[in-house]
Structure 1
Amino acid sequence: MTTTEKPPFYSTYSPNIPEILWKNKLTIAITTYQAGKVIFISANSENGLIQLPRDFRKAMGMAYHGGKMAIATREEVVILKNTPSLAKGYPKMPNTYDGLFMPRATYMTGEVDLHDMAWGQAGLWAVNTRFSCLSMINDDYSFEPKWQPSFISDLVPEDRCHLNGMAMKNGHPEFVTSLGTTNSAFGWRENKAKGGAMIHVPSGEILTTGLAMPHSPRLEGNKLFALLSATGELIEVDQQSGKYEVVTKIPGFVRGMSRYGNLLFIGLSKMRKSSPTFKDLPIAQESIFPGIVVVDANTGKIVGHIKYETSLEEIYDVKIISGMLRPGIMGVNTDDHRNGLSLPTQGFWAVPEEPKKIESE
């Protein structure tokens, strides 16, 4: 590598990002389906960041709760559990991690294009974009349909409205976003830049329409936030009237959002100008860099950023892992995780047996 070449997933960041993560004991987790990775971004001091990318094919939505993480991939949902008893003794990097997310189960969903996910009182909820419904993920079926918008007439794999985002309240889905209110195969594409909607799940009522590619609705206290990807706006929506105010404008395609305190960590993607889905969006000309922006929800000011310069162009989801300064994560495409044996009270790293020589007669 010459001095002018930059390594994979090279990033720069504003000086306050490491300080925020270090002082609050936080790690940022992001998914990028374009690169097929889940990446943990942690502080290694008050002045520096370190990242840990792992392979997950077409990584999309994530759910995180109580030390457990779910990752939607192209054909599966992978469940990982933080296993502190294995973290310290991880053979390749002992005494490095204060947590370690180990794969513990895989659900074979098939290619149903799962987007936002969250754990609720009934189990693991997922936005099933291909079938235009909310579904539960379990070991009985590819998915179990639980709710669909009133304008969707049939449960068919046609991505009729591009249902994508989900906001939870008291363990149940409360609001969802879609890129259209259409009832034909890929009908949302005809008016993708301004045909989006926010829908109240319990009543089935459409709260507001005419949104510019809404994603990532989040209920934070009594406030309902969402991202308008086509215009690069963070908005706050009135839950009664459906009217919204722009909290701030961000120069890029925004998608994926997680909160810590008054800070909102928002994913930023660089648009592919060759893509028929994105190239004619208003934000395409302003899309400067992919990465993370941090917004103060009280003031609307952008207070920090992480900018990727190589390998990564698109981010789908963002999650904040609190209480762990530098957790590790095991992918499923190598054998490393198979040697981690966890029990309720302790963990062991198995030593692979030496290959046995076969004697010939």
Structure 2
Amino acid sequence: MPQSELPPFYSTYSPNIPEILWKNKLTLAITTYQAGKVIFISASSEEGLIQLPRDFKKAMGMAYHNGKMAIATQEEVVVLKNTPSLAKGYPKMPNTYTGLFMPRALYFTGEVDMHDMAWGQEGLWGVNTRFSCLSLINDEYSFEPKWKPKFVSDLVPEDRCHLNGMAMKDGKPEYVTALGTSDSAFGWRENKTKGGVLMHVPTGEIITSNLAMPHSPRVEGNKLFVLLSATGELISVDQQTGKYDVMTKIPGFVRGMSRYGNLLFIGLSKMRKSSPTFKNLPIAQESIFPGVIVVDANTGNIVGHIRYENSLEEIYDIKIISNMARPGILGVNTDDFRSGLSMPNQGFWAIPNEEGDEKSKEE
């Protein structure tokens, strides 16, 4: 079928992907700022996938914990909560979803280019790329700066080092990645392909340098994984020495990573040749398709993939939603979510009565 005739976000995939999601009751959530979407990918059976895309303007980093999800958008952070009491009776798709993520809070951060996010002991953390710092996201300020690299002298909106990735440990930020160590506006761009660093947050020390556009650091057990986007490499870093081993090389710009068991789900982007940031990267010539690559965390072997044929070119983040075979999600750009009324143990959908006013139907 010609690409022009394919439905939006058409994908192909290795046969084991539906089986993995189906048997383990998993759903993948991915963000694509290029398409302005959050997409839920679930198994419809052991042999097929089903997708649910929702509009979120310039969707970037996500945080997920205990049924609650935060999504960084162009000017806000949206917080959603899984609401089982509303899932079954969702008026547009009744008896369809095993969970339903409903918007419950909106933080007006402003356009700070928020990247990785995670919940920790102090609340919701975000990598504030424009101000080169780690911030807490709350209802007191646009953001509350909590940490910055030693080489950054001022908190100003100049994206001095392109701070981007954050790995949590014991409820606190442990490691961050940046594309450079510049202290001038957008200075990281001068050596973007090999000026990247991995930093230890508690001490502020740089533990690994000369990295090829590092992203998505993740502490998993006693292992620290990092993606080198410019070379398409997944590396495992020794947390004591900073030395690393290349586990595998993927033919594309890798960014966004989440783990389930021994499987790493990694986002793969096809670089825009017109982009001044990406067009000269060696990996841009090898970038064969956008999608998701699944890697065995023990061996580094690639064991599966999802390939997008249209609509989507770049992925920023990936999160695994466990114990939900097919959750739904509502965005804030339509009024659907406003009719969903939830309480701790029950929920109601507001529906019009005969006089045109709304009444509530208990679920």
Specify the TM-score bucket, using the shorter chain as the normaliser. Answer: over 0.9
Q: Structure 1: how far apart are the matches of 2:132 and 2:45?
A: 44
* 2:115 is aligned with 1:109: no
Q: Deviations over 1:142-171 (max 9, x none)?
A: 000000000000000000000000000000
Shift of 1:289: 0.3
* 2:251 is aligned with 1:264: no
Q: Structure 1: which 5+ runs fail to align?
A: none
User: Which residue identity lines up with residue 33 of structure 1 in the other structure?
Assistant: Y
CA contact (8 A) 2:116 2:164 kept: yes
Aligned to 1:294: 294
Residues 250, 2 of structure 1: alpha-carbon distance in 2 compared, 3 angstrom cutoff: closer
1:210-225 equivalence runs, <5 A: 210-225=210-225
CA contact (8 A) 2:25 2:324 kept: yes
Residues 290, 228 of structure 1: alpha-carbon distance in 2 compared, 3 angstrom cutoff: same
Aligned to 1:209: 209
Tell me how many residue pairs correspond in the alignment: 357
Aligned to 1:249: 249
Shift of 1:354: 6.1
Q: Structure 2: how far apart are the matches of 1:125 and 1:291?
A: 27
With normalisation by structure 1, the TM-score equals: 0.97
Aligned to 2:361: none
User: Which residue identity lines up with residue 265 of structure 1 in the other structure?
Assistant: F
Q: What value does the CA root-mean-square deviation take over the aligned residues?
A: 1.3
CA contact (8 A) 1:114 1:127 kept: yes
Q: Classify the secondary structure of the residue corresponding to 1:21.
A: helix
Q: Structure 2: which 5+ runs fail to align?
A: 358-363
**Percent of aligned pairs sharing the same letter:** 83
Aligned to 2:39: 39
Q: Deviations over 1:236-256 (max 9, x none)?
A: 011111111000000000000
Shift of 1:285: 0.5
Q: Deviations over 1:13-49 (max 9, x none)?
A: 0000000000000000000000000000000100000
Aligned to 1:130: 130
Aligned to 1:325: 325
* 2:17 is aligned with 1:17: yes
* 2:193 is aligned with 1:229: no
Q: Deviations over 1:184-241 (max 9, x none)?
A: 0000000000000000000000001000000000000000000000000000011111
CA contact (8 A) 1:339 1:352 kept: no
CA contact (8 A) 2:3 2:310 kept: no
With normalisation by structure 2, the TM-score equals: 0.97
Shift of 1:282: 1.4
Q: Classify the secondary structure of the residue corresponding to 2:305.
A: strand
Aligned to 1:141: 141
Q: Classify the secondary structure of the residue corresponding to 1:18.
A: helix
Aligned to 1:313: 313
User: Which residue identity lines up with residue 149 of structure 2 in the other structure?
Assistant: P
CA contact (8 A) 1:131 1:158 kept: yes
Aligned to 1:166: 166
Q: Structure 1: how far apart are the matches of 2:294 and 2:240?
A: 28
